[in-house]
Amino acid sequence: MAASIERLRSFLETIGEGVQVEPLVADASTREYFRIAWNASTAVACVYPASFSSDENTYLDTSSLFLSADLPVAEIYAVSEVHGIIIQEDLGDRVLRTELGNSDDGRRDRLRKEAISLIARIQLATARAFSTGSIASTLRFDKEKLLWELDFFKQHYFETYLRQPLNAKTGAALSQEFSFLAATLEGYAGVLCHRDFHAANLMLDANDKMRIIDHQDARMGSAAYDLVSLLLDRITEPPPPEWLAAQRKYFLTVRRTLGLPKIDEADFAYEFRLQTLQRCLKAVGTFSYQSAVRGKTYFIPFIKPMFRIVLRSAGNVEGFVTLKEILSKEVEREN
């Protein structure tokens, strides 16, 4: 962090701004964030590990795309390629995850519906992503990418976190199921996705407006991808199936209201369940890596709930026999 602060102060000095910086928590990111004085107010400085090219920076590209589509992301104030720094609007400290936890049922429902509506609005920007040549339009949750994330789970949960690799026969059977899952989901990858749309990446600003952050990994994917992330990421108790069905129905209603193509409710339930398998296992891979390698053990309590969610979803679709057997044992495993 010291090197990042030094780089940031060096940049601020060159443009005549103050050099007082306040470190902000960046969760699992390799970037570091600081609140700084800016034009008699404050801004947030994002400091990358190294210099970058603006033309190739996915955060700048996706911010431009989202702002042009009237999506509520932070405005960009300044960029230093050589210092590896982006200065952006300060959205405050009110993270949606915390707001949901501190709200009554009525407000929690309203906030969640607002977030779900944002997912549909992101998908509405799909055509704009292609017409503007956004980097996001060139990236896709194809079989290769989805399978990479599933293999990341297999490696870092069993080998890095548990230190108990699967035997060759079981590993091969699981890989075969993962290959089928990735190939099937590739067929659904046709809309713009945030890619990490959960309640820790949404904020409420000073005017109570919901704002989107951490959108630099946007790409084309399943219509269910961001919804799975929002509803099922980092929870400690799987929600009732009836509740999930109601959220899916609301999302499809918002899509139709915006003029997006109609998706059959039963077909979307199937897509959602398949995406749940992939997205939740991908999350466990991240939790395992962050816990075992980077010492962020606060991710550990979310692992078994993710497995329970995957097991329930797998029970509602055909196949995935090996996955069910493995995860049933993991759920029963002593901590």
**Domains by residue range for the chain, with CATH:** 2-89 (3.30.200.20), 94-332 (3.90.1200.10)
Report the distance separating Cα 115 and Cα 192, nearest Å: 16
Mean residue pLDDT of the chain comes to 95
User: Do 97 and 199 meet the contact criterion of CB atoms below 8 Å apart?
Assistant: yes
Give which of 73, 23, 32, 44 is closest to 213, Cα–Cα.
Answer: 73
Q: Is the dihedral of CA 175, 179, 185, 189 positive or negative?
A: positive
Phi, psi of 77 (to 5 degrees): -95, -40
Q: How far apart are CA 335 and CA 316, in angstroms?
A: 27
Degrees (nearest 5) of the Cα angle 116, 25, 45? 90
221 DSSP β-pair partners: 191
Percent pLDDT > 90 in the chain is 88
Over the stretch 231-243, which tens digit does the pLDDT of each residue have?
999 999 999 999 9
Task: Give, in degrees to the nearest 5, the angle at Cα 286 between 280 and 290.
Answer: 145
| Contact (Cβ atoms closer than 8 angstroms) between residue 45 and residue 59 | no
96 near 253, Cβ under 8 Å?
no
Confidence of residue 50 (pLDDT cuts 50, 70, 90): very high
Which of 134, 135, 127, 146 is CA-nearest to residue 185? 146
Residue 237 exposure: Cα atoms within 13 Å on the Cβ side: 3
pLDDT, tens digit, 9 for 90 and up, residues 66-96:
999 999 999 999 999 999 999 999 999 999 9
**Beta-carbon neighbour count of residue 115 at 10 Å?**
22
In the predicted structure, residue 245 carries a pLDDT above the cut 70 = yes
Question: pTM, whole model, 2 decimals?
Answer: 0.94
Task: Answer for the pair 251, 260: CB distance below 8 angstroms, yes or no.
Answer: no
- In this prediction, residue 333 carries a pLDDT of 86
Identify any residues that bridge with 73 across adjacent strands, giving them in sequence order.
Answer: 212
169 close to 176: Cβ distance less than 8 angstroms: no
Residue 208: which of 122, 110, 119 has the closest Cα? 110
